[in-house]
Structure 1
Amino acid sequence: MNRSRLTETFDAVEEQTDRLLVLSRFVHPDRGEVHCPAAPLIAAWLTRQGLPAATAGFGRVTRPTSASPATATARQHAGSVTATTYIDLDGRVVGIAVAAPAHHTDLATRTVATWSRTLRTRRVLVPLGDLPCGPPPATEPALPGPRPGPLHPLSEHLDCPRRARTRAVLGSYLDRGDTVLLLGSEAEQEHHWRERAGLGSADVISVPDPVSAGKVTVPAPERLSFVIGSCARLDDVPALLRILRRRFPMLRGQHPDLWCYAASDLLRMARTVADRSDLTLLLGPTAHFGAPSDRRAVRRIDTLGDLSPSDVADAATIAVIGAGTSAESSDTAVITALSGLGPLSVVHHRALSAVVTDIDKAAPPTAAADRIAGQGR
């Protein structure tokens, strides 16, 4: 990248408005079509500073030449384009470019210089996994510009098979007259879960944490069951069960084959990528992903304008958490913008807990295992 990098100022062939235009593409006189994926990020950063800016595609630019007074007047009206361009690994020409009228040329030059200092080869680490099926966020993230859909599309997963199985088990416990403890669900998630399942509150008691487990009271301890709340973090469940089983020895509950590992797997991956990164970006609602290690730099990004040049300049590896949970959904506005700040490698990390239910159909034991089994008889 550095060997092909050029910073230049051009005359703008097209006439401009009276504000800065951060170019999403333009035609370089020598390098041809230039793609500028970071344009929405830079425009949002300028707007955040009170400098009206917009993104726009642009036509051809030309090199400045000496000209007659009439041509100079026309050039002043059209303004100029300041750009840094480089050739990416795939052969495409990528750049940062700002078009400005004559009285904003210095501002355009400073903007390009500031963001050009952030250019470097980077990795982006993205945790992938089955999306926790809790309630949809009250509001969608406010990242500007076109994007391929919500950053956190929880509403698409409300009727997953795991949720349906848990609901069926809970219903069977209620049918036999048990009080049911719903373990691990946060209050908002549990309320949404009840509403979807058509459950009342009298016979289902939420136990979200160890404090609740130590205080919960039930009308008939001998008729008490538990289920794991939809997409609860299973790392928290054993501690709850230890407390509850000490207090209620007759407690019965959902078989572990029916527990859902989606939230725990995704949380584990989020922590893994955060701890391997120089900078962690949290996009939109990220309650399901937990907090990364506080030893690392963390920025919560609600709009692209929240990301500044100083945030990314020294970050060679960036974790993007909350951008989606599949390879198709991870190409968000933030990741796309980062791809315009130097050659980018996007690495998907996945954790998968698979429940094995066919252990009774395993292959016959080996001779050694037969001998050991015989010694035990």
Structure 2
Amino acid sequence: MSYVGPVWYSEPASYFEHGGGVTGIGVAASESDPVALRAAKAAVAEWSGVLRTRRALLADADRCCVTAGRGRCPLARQAVTELVHRSRGKSDVLLLCRPGLPAGHLGSAALTRVSSVDEARTVQAGDAENVYFVVDPGIRIEVAAAMVKVLRQRFPRLRGQHPRHWCYTESDWARCFRTLTDDCDRVLVLGGANDTFVEFASQENSRLAHIRDSEEVRPSRLADAATVGIVIAPPATGETVRRLLDVLSGLGPLDVVHRRFTSEHLSRARIDALWPAEGQSPPAPPALPHMAWRPPDSSPTVPPAPAP
């Protein structure tokens, strides 16, 4: 809608940005259109009601190869190949995986899918003395460990892949998600309603809100929210994230915190590097992770010098 000779209607809804500058809220409407003027006044009043200083905790954790659709994890492929070779087609191989993941056949050994602790209590093996297990990517390690505990009670001679071949990516992602629901007043899941959102939505329904873009942000979702969590879900992109951060930064001074959880398999050399022996130089600090997005107004601004 366009007007001839528009005027700006605005309330005192502005704030000083960190390092200088002023940001405010305004709506364009025609002075000859009383309906538009009332709507502009109402919009400014509604949005100015949520102006405040905020933190944004941005969850950034890589999904594993399976859940991200990048194919099978090389760690899992290596482990399965090793176990199939050791079993020589004569032993039962149990695949510990998420519900819904298909169990295939590798070589002459059939993989029996086990996707819950309850299934671990009831799964049958042809030879209870010769059972192997494989931890498939896409399952959280704490869930797989609970399954292994039950299976070991039922099959005391249970053997499986070396824990070094376990993938912790999904566990890191889930833990990162949980900290946002614990630490934030509101969590915005930006993108598609993926499996992680569905899984945790039932547990933290009052704090979670699913949006596909910044246009779906509403003042009611930010009322009394001093800390806002942002979870990026496909198909959200870096540009989608930047638009959302622009909206939040327009509603008060905003600090964006990059939250990330990473579990790392440590070799002996890596352990020595992290905790050097006495007399050795400590390792250099790790480089900061690269972020695909740039917070708005991230360049430092030098305030003007006072007038003489």
Q: Distance in 1 between matches of 2:130 and 2:51?
A: 64
TM-superposed deviation, 1:259:
0.8
How many residues align structurally? 262
2:253 maps to 343
8 Å CA contact retained: 1:221, 1:248? yes
1:91 maps to 20
Secondary structure of the equivalent of 2:134? strand
Q: Residues 166-315 of structure 1: matches in 2 within 5 Å?
A: 166-175=76-85, 176-177=88-89, 178-187=91-100, 190-191=101-102, 203-283=110-190, 284-288=192-196, 291=200, 294=204, 297-304=207-214, 306-315=216-225
Q: Which structure has greater strand proportion?
A: 1
Tell me the percent identity: 33
Query: Which structure 1 residue ranges, 5 or more long, are not aligned?
Result: 1-16, 19-75, 136-153, 367-377
After superposition, the CA RMSD in angstroms is 3.3
TM-superposed deviation, 1:199:
5.2
Q: Deviations over 1:82-113 (max 9, x none)?
A: 24444321434433332234432221221122
1:81 maps to 8
Secondary structure of the equivalent of 2:77? helix
TM-superposed deviation, 1:330:
8.8
Q: Deviations over 1:300-333 (max 9, x none)?
A: 2245454321220211111112358xxx789343
Secondary structure of the equivalent of 1:203? strand
Q: Deviations over 1:96-134 (max 9, x none)?
A: 332234432221221122111111110011223332333
8 Å CA contact retained: 1:183, 1:228? yes
Query: Which structure 2 residue ranges, 5 or more long, are not aligned?
Result: 279-308
8 Å CA contact retained: 1:286, 1:322? no
1:355 maps to 265
1:334 counterpart = 2:244: yes
2:288 maps to none
**From 108, 114, 122, the counterpart of 2:54:** 122
8 Å CA contact retained: 2:194, 2:233? no
TM-score by length of 2: 0.72
8 Å CA contact retained: 1:285, 1:322? no
Q: Distance in 2 between matches of 1:98 and 1:364?
A: 60
8 Å CA contact retained: 1:275, 1:296? no
Opposite residue 256 of structure 1, the aligned amino acid is P
Q: Residues 59-70 of structure 1: matches in 2 within 5 Å?
A: none
Secondary structure of the equivalent of 1:353? coil
8 Å CA contact retained: 2:133, 2:159? yes
Relative distance call for 1:230 and 1:329 in structure 2 (3 A) is farther
Q: Residues 33-72 of structure 1: matches in 2 within 5 Å?
A: none
TM-superposed deviation, 1:217:
2.1
Q: Distance in 1 between matches of 2:126 and 2:239?
A: 47
